[in-house]
Each structure stands twice: as C-alpha cells, then as structure tokens.
Amino acid sequence: MDFHEYQSPDPADTIEPDAARAHLVVIGNGMAGCRAVEELLARDAGRHRVTIFGAEPHVNYNRIMLSPVLAGEKSFDEIVINDHDWYADNQIDLIAGDPIVAIDRTAKTVTSKAGRTVVYDKLLIATGSDPFIIPVPGHDLPGVISFRDMSDVDAMLAAAAQGGDAVVIGGGLLGLEAAHGLTLRGMKVTVLHLMPTLMERQLDEAAGWLLKQALEARGQAILTGADTAEIYGGGKVEGVRLKDGRDIPASLVVMAVGIRPSVALARASGLAVGRGIHVDDHMVTSDPDVLAVGECVEHDGQVYGLVAPLWDMCRALADGLVEKHTGYRGSVASTKLKVAGLNVFSAGDFSGGEACEDIVLRDAARGIYKRVVLREDRVVGAVLYGDTADGGWYFDLLKRQEDVADIRDVLIYGQVFASGGRRADPKAAVAALSADAEICGCNGVSKGQVVACIEAGNATLDAVRATCKASASCGSCTGMVESLLAVTLGDDYAGERATKTICGCTSFGHDDVRREIVAQGLRSIPEVMQKLHWTTPDGCSSCRPALNYYLLCAWPGEYEDDQQSRFVNERLHANIQKDGTYSVVPRMWGGITSPKELRAIADVVEKYNAPMVKVTGGQRLDIFGIRKEDLPAVWADLNAAGMVSGHAYGKALRTVKTCVGSEWCRFGTQDSTGLGVKLERMSWGSWMPHKFKIAVSGCPRNCAEATIKDFGVVCVESGYELHVGGNGGMKVRATDLLCKVATEQEAMEYCAAFIQLYREEARYLERTAPWTERVGLDAIKTRIVDDAEGRAALAERFLFSQRFSQDDPWADRAAGHDRNHHAPMARFTPQKEMA
C-alpha cells in the first residue's frame, strides 16, 4: 500500500506544557478533529498549543474517500487532507497510532494506551463513530470485518486479491460502497439487507427499488429482507446462513449495518452522554473545559452520521473557543452518493406529513425518478435517482425556505427549466416546440406527425394512440399529447379521455396496467409504479391491492405477496367486525361437516368466549367475536381437527354450496355433493378480482341456489348445466347459461377455465356479474365453449397457479409466522388509574 505510517514520538518523551499558551488536546485525528483545529487556526493561530492523538497510524485523511481507494480509483496519498507539513508548520504534535484510553477531568489529563499522560487546558473529543457489529454467532471469525478505516480497506484488498465470494451485510450507503469496490476488485458479491428496500433511511421505496435493479444489473446479488442467523466457518469465515435457511458461501464478510457514536471514553470519564456526547450550541460538553465535535456528539437530540454537519459544528466550536460565540443550530441532512455510476440524492424530510404535497417525475426510459416534497409552497425534502444534477438546487431552496409558488409547475424539471423563462403553461411549452421535435420516444413520433394525426380527425387521446401510436406505449408523453390536442383543436377538444383510471395515482386504467404488467414483465409494485409513471410515491388503498392482485395473477409462484397492500381481512385471514374483533369461518368442503369438526368448533367457541356462532348463507359456521391476538390459537385448534381457512374474508373462492343430490334426495339426478367437494378441492385458496361463489344443485329444483352464483352447476339426467355470472347482493343477477356438458370431468375443466378467464381479464373488485355484462356472454362463450384448445390452456394455467396457493394460511400463522400481525407491540399499564 502506498501510504505512510507516521512515526510518533517515543512514549517516554514528555510533552512539556507551554505556560504561555493554553494546551488544547484533541482526541481523534479524523475529519472532525482536524477540521476543528483548522477552523481554530484560521481564527487565532497563536492562541493554543495543539496536541492531536489518533488511534490510526496515519495523518489526517478523508474517510469518505475510502470507497474510491477500495475501488482502485484513488490512492491513499490522494485522500490525505493534511500531510506531515501541515502538522509541522502549525506546531501541532501528532501522536498517531496511540489511542487515548482514559480521561481524568479532575487532574485535567489524558492517558494513552502506550502510557503517555498529557495535561490539557481544553480537551476536544472527536472520536467519531464505531462500526456496529451484529452479535451473531461467528461475528468474531477471521475474515469478518467492518468498513470504517484504512486497515479495513487493506483487509478487503488482501481478501480480494485471493478472489472468491464476499458477503456484505447492510444495504446502506457504506455497505453498497463496499460491495461496489469489492465487485470492481473481482469478487462475487452478495449484499444482505434486513429491510425490504435499500438505503431506506435516505431513499423512499421507489428510488430504493431502482437502485437495487441497477446494482443487480451490475452483477451484485442483492437479498432484501435477509436476516443473518450466523456466520460460520472453521477457523475462518466460510459463509453466512440466514434465518430463513439460505446459505451464502463467502471468504470475506463485511459488516456495514451502521455506526454508533463512539462514546465509551466520554462515558467512562463521567461526561453527560445520551446516544452521543451531550453538547450545547458551542460544542461544549457537561464539563466546560471539554468540548466534543462530529459523529460522537448529540446536539439537541440529534446525532449525525454524515460529513456535512461537521463543517457547521467545527465553525461554531472555533467561534466559541475564541470567544466570539455564534452557535450551532443543527443541520439538515443531504446525501449524495454515486455507486457504480448511479446517482442518488436525498435531502431533508422526504416523507411529507401534514399539508405536504409530492411532486413526482418518473422517466422510465432513462431510469429517472425525482420527488420533491413541498409544504406551504416551500421545499421540505427531495429524493432524486438517476439525475441528481438539481440536488444542490433543491437543497438550497430547502435550506433557504424560499417560496416556490411561482415556479411550482416546473419545479420538478429542475433549475434550468424553472429559471429559463419557459415557465408558461405546459400548452405554451408544447406549442413552442418545432414540428420535428420528438413527442413520443417509444414510437418515434414527432410533434408534426401528432398534429397531422389530430388534424386528420382524431380528436381524442385514444384515437391518436390508435392512429399514430404517440403515447400508446409507456404513456409518459400522455400529457404532451393531450396538450397538443388542446392546442390544435382549441375549443373543439373534448378534454380528458373517457377511460377510467385505477385511481388518482395513475393515468392508466385497469386493463392498461394488466396489459403492461405482462408485456413489460413487471414483477413488483414499485416496478409497476415506476414504469407506469405513478404520481404518488407508494400508491393508495385503491391501487395497491389491485396491483398486488394483478401481479399475483400474472406471475404465479414467483410474485411475493405484499401483505401491506392487502385489506385487513386478507392480512389477518379473518373478517373484521365493527367492534374490532374478528369472525372465523373454517372451510367445510361442499358444506359437509362431521362430529369431530363440530366438536372442535364448539370447543373453540367456549374456549375463546365467542359470543355468537352463525350458520352462513354459504353453508358454513361463522364464529364471531374473536380477538386479533387469539386468532393464531383459534386456528391451531381448528387445524388440529383437520379444518383449514374458509377464505370467507377474501377476494377469493369463498364457498361451494351443495344440495344432497342423488345420494339422498328422491329427485336428485347426479352426485351434487360429490361434485361440489371436488370443485372446492380444486379451487380453494385461489385469489380472484373479487369474491367468487360456486354452487351445485342436484336437480332443476335448484335447492343450492346455483343460478345466483358466480359459477353454478345444475345437474340434470343427461349431465350438467353450467351457469355463470350470477350474484345475490345489492343488485341481484341471475346467471346466464354457458353450456351443458355430459361429464363431471368436463364440468371441472369448464369451471377451471372460467375462473381463470375471470382472474386474468376482469378488473379488480369487479364481480363476475358486472364483468359478464361488460364483456358480453358471447365473448365468454367464444373463449370457453367454442375454443377447446383455449379452454384447456386456461384450465391448465389455473391449475398451475393453484399449485402455489393451496397452503393453508392459518396453519402458517398458527405455527408462529407473522406474529407481528396479531400481537401488540407493547403493553402499557399506567401507575395511576386512568381518569
């Protein structure tokens, strides 16, 4: 390595106090300590005699530039801030490689590890942070390191020279930089991140997702939601095992899960310490002769892990030392990061709150995401991904609290646009474009072509899309095309298109979104929101459940269900009641039960004091008044008697209702209960756009009321009549007859095909009745009855997706999964009785 070890004076040397000047001793030779000394020297160079103790054997270097050193972009010499000459020129005694181990505030001395004791007049603690090491088994194995100082970089470089696999634990700023450096050095890197998205403290979900995509494209494996169970190896690290059982081999493990203010020394000396060393506005600790600065301090309840606040702290500290007090007032944080050529920026409070507005710009083609948060016409936060050129400008607007009402419409386009005088309304901006300016990048359509298309009589957005293809693909130029319609047609433009959007978060309708999910291969909610230009950061209670369903339907077995995008009933697998308790309906196949099941239900009712049991319209027993906390125990008891979830709570297959049929009834023509049980066994557990009910009646007397069900079978002597699209409820609709089939086998196949057609093509929260009316019975018959091949393919897709959905969700919860959904986070018992 090309850095120089600093030769400190021999410990036996005594350092004589200079009576003329106050002696300032600095613990910490890092960025904060040296910056503070620089600030002090700039104000009054002769005021103090300075001694700096550093734990590392180096001169003062720029710690945040360790990443480029690791990546091979810089040498150590290039990141040195102050070289030996600086110390010599300013008569600073540097004692490097010898950490201070004790402070005696009564005697006003510090003692180093090597045994030096030095007297101070003023003491400055700038010990920075310590890397946080998760105390998992194996954390102390050779080969497990942190990423904090030059020795860590050396260790990583030595490991990389051997090649092989590395694991970085922690997907924050530091972890990602370590991962990037190791990747460039030729290691195969896996990043383990506990949280669902990367850098969640600096980035919102959308930006975190984009970052993950881009890093994966650069060859890193990124596992989110990855909880480390242990680091294993015989004598040295060999791999990491996760709590879910996954096993990642590695010869190097970099632990970069976070940093903690380094306060042990201060605490041992009796200074006031919270999360950091308590300081006032002048960086003075609870002892007036002891100051502290940097990442080790806590000011006004805040600790900072970034470099920018240091500058302000050091300024205030130096002003105080020369008795021209100005004071530190806290910092607004901003983060600008570049990893593997990816630009990321965040500043301030980018989550909003009361009266906050989000302005979001997504440019899927260029991989850009920008979000500016306003409160009362002032910028309070920003997240930028892909294009961070305007980060400084937004940060400046934020710090100055400038009123941006005048430029609000164009704020998101950045400083050049906002201040370039082109801030007239978007119509004027589009009108000003030349005829050959490109409007639609996806289909290469110019403004001239769009205008010609409109002038040829295409007076709506859909007509324009159908004719010249502008805005027909990704949709990001929809606004521009609409502006062109308005400009070209003037008063003749009818305005907004007729297609109803999913919700206010998007300009796309349900069918558009479903088509694009499949066409573009979109596989997660953030990805859909990014590629389809959602205008809100994380959607709303209308679009999120819809997207979750569409993804689940499009990618069976691959898509991981998002619990937080589910309505409470589907999250807790029970029905919420108005008093906040839940009702529980175990599945009874085809409405048939047994003494064992009935006994188990009776026992549950008594054991959990359920106030009511009710027979439902779908031939089930509904147990009311179960507390959220008791649900897993109730399910365990019902599971023990062989019963599974009845999905009475879901947009899912609810019940198959049957009459007794030929087995008992003198009118019965076929085994309706038997067929009902088979249909329920086939279709239970499937998620649907809305609830789905089936019934099988054994004869045309139709005791199972099959003709007001989503799928109804009416048995006749010669076979089975299949009915579709019925429901009871607010607007009763009797079924339409789909067709008649001869065998049970066929009835099953038609049922599977119909369910899958509904699952794939109906809109979320659209039951089969309105869906059938919207698309027409003929369209359904064409697909299910006339097209045998298509029917078989639909049925096959349904059965395939069922392979992943027929796990009893109750059994999972009863076994302790997602315990958080049920248990309170804490219980609080006030000492005094409540009023």
Partner 1 sequence: MIGDWLDIGWLDEIPPRGSRTIQVAGGDDVAVFRTGDNRVFALADRCPHKHGRLSQGIVHGNAVACPLHNWRIALATGEAQGADKGCTPVVPVRVSGGRVLICRASTLKAAA
Enumerate binding residues for partner 1 (CB under 8 A): 194-197, 200-201, 204-205, 275, 301, 303, 349-354, 356, 358, 536-541, 544-545, 563-569, 571-572, 576, 578, 580, 820, 824-830, 833-835
Nearer Cβ to partner 1 (16/354): 354
Measured distance CA(611)–CA(616) in Å, rounded? 16
CA atoms within 13 A on the CB side of 721: 17
Measured distance CA(325)–CA(304) in Å, rounded? 22
- Do residues 542 and 506 make contact, with C-beta atoms less than 8 angstroms apart? no
Nearer Cβ to partner 1 (35/544): 544
Supply the minimum distance, in Å, between the C-beta of residue 169 and partner 1.
Answer: 15
- Do residues 218 and 210 make contact, with C-beta atoms less than 8 angstroms apart? no
CA angle 212, 214, 218 (to 5 degrees): 110
Helix axes 788-802, 672-683, angle to 10 degrees: 70
Distance of alpha carbon 111 from the chain centroid: 47
Measured distance CA(166)–CA(174) in Å, rounded? 15
Nearest residue to 454 via CA among 446, 464, 462, 445: 464
Supply the minimum distance, in Å, between the C-beta of residue 733 and partner 1.
Answer: 25
Nearest residue to 310 via CA among 38, 43, 94: 38
Nearer Cβ to partner 1 (194/775): 194
Supply the minimum distance, in Å, between the C-beta of residue 560 and partner 1.
Answer: 14
Supply the minimum distance, in Å, between the C-beta of residue 825 and partner 1.
Answer: 4
Residue 124 Cα distances to 22, 37, 351, angstroms: 13, 10, 36
Q: Give the amino acid at 169.
A: I
Supply the minimum distance, in Å, between the C-beta of residue 495 and partner 1.
Answer: 23
Supply the minimum distance, in Å, between the C-beta of residue 827 and partner 1.
Answer: 4
Nearer Cβ to partner 1 (191/525): 525
Nearer Cβ to partner 1 (200/746): 200
Nearer Cβ to partner 1 (28/526): 526
Nearer Cβ to partner 1 (352/448): 352
Supply the minimum distance, in Å, between the C-beta of residue 738 and partner 1.
Answer: 34
CA angle 277, 280, 283 (to 5 degrees): 70
Nearer Cβ to partner 1 (66/652): 652
Supply the minimum distance, in Å, between the C-beta of residue 205 and partner 1.
Answer: 5
Supply the minimum distance, in Å, between the C-beta of residue 566 and partner 1.
Answer: 8
Supply the minimum distance, in Å, between the C-beta of residue 368 and partner 1.
Answer: 19
Nearer Cβ to partner 1 (187/360): 360
Supply the minimum distance, in Å, between the C-beta of residue 211 and partner 1.
Answer: 14
For 49, other C-beta atoms within 10 Å of its C-beta total 20
Nearer Cβ to partner 1 (54/276): 276
Rg (CA), the chain: 34
Give the DSSP letter string of 322-350: TT----------EEEEEETTEEEEEEE-T
Nearer Cβ to partner 1 (77/629): 629
What the block records as the tokens of 661 is 């049929």
Supply the minimum distance, in Å, between the C-beta of residue 38 and partner 1.
Answer: 30
Nearer Cβ to partner 1 (12/835): 835
Nearer Cβ to partner 1 (515/819): 819
For 528, other C-beta atoms within 10 Å of its C-beta total 23
DSSP state of 278: E
Q: Provide the H-helix boundaries in 555-706.
A: 568-572, 595-607, 631-640, 672-683
Nearer Cβ to partner 1 (299/566): 566
Each as own residue / partner, the long-range contacts of residues 411-414 (CB below 8 Å, 24 or more positions apart, any chain) are 411/359, 411/372, 411/374, 411/379, 412/359, 412/360, 412/361, 412/370, 412/372, 413/361, 414/389, 414/390
Give the DSSP letter string of 124-186: EE---EEE-----TTTTSTTEEESSSHHHHHHHHHHHHH--EEEEE--SHHHHHHHHHHHHTT
- Do residues 778 and 787 make contact, with C-beta atoms less than 8 angstroms apart? no
What the block records as the tokens of 328 is 């530190």
Nearer Cβ to partner 1 (519/834): 834
Each as own residue / partner, the long-range contacts of residues 278-284 (CB below 8 Å, 24 or more positions apart, any chain) are 281/316, 281/327, 281/328, 281/329, 282/316, 282/317, 282/319, 282/320, 282/325, 282/327, 282/328, 283/313, 283/316, 283/317, 283/320, 283/328, 284/320
Q: Could you tell me which residues are beta bridge partners of residue 626? A: 582
Distance of alpha carbon 626 from the chain centroid: 32
Supply the minimum distance, in Å, between the C-beta of residue 353 and partner 1.
Answer: 4
Nearer Cβ to partner 1 (196/479): 196
Supply the minimum distance, in Å, between the C-beta of residue 649 and partner 1.
Answer: 11
Supply the minimum distance, in Å, between the C-beta of residue 547 and partner 1.
Answer: 12
Supply the minimum distance, in Å, between the C-beta of residue 689 and partner 1.
Answer: 18
Measured distance CA(814)–CA(22) in Å, rounded? 69
* Helix or strand (DSSP H, E) at 259: strand 259-261
Supply the minimum distance, in Å, between the C-beta of residue 824 and partner 1.
Answer: 5
Nearer Cβ to partner 1 (803/827): 827
- Do residues 575 and 582 make contact, with C-beta atoms less than 8 angstroms apart? yes
For 701, other C-beta atoms within 10 Å of its C-beta total 12
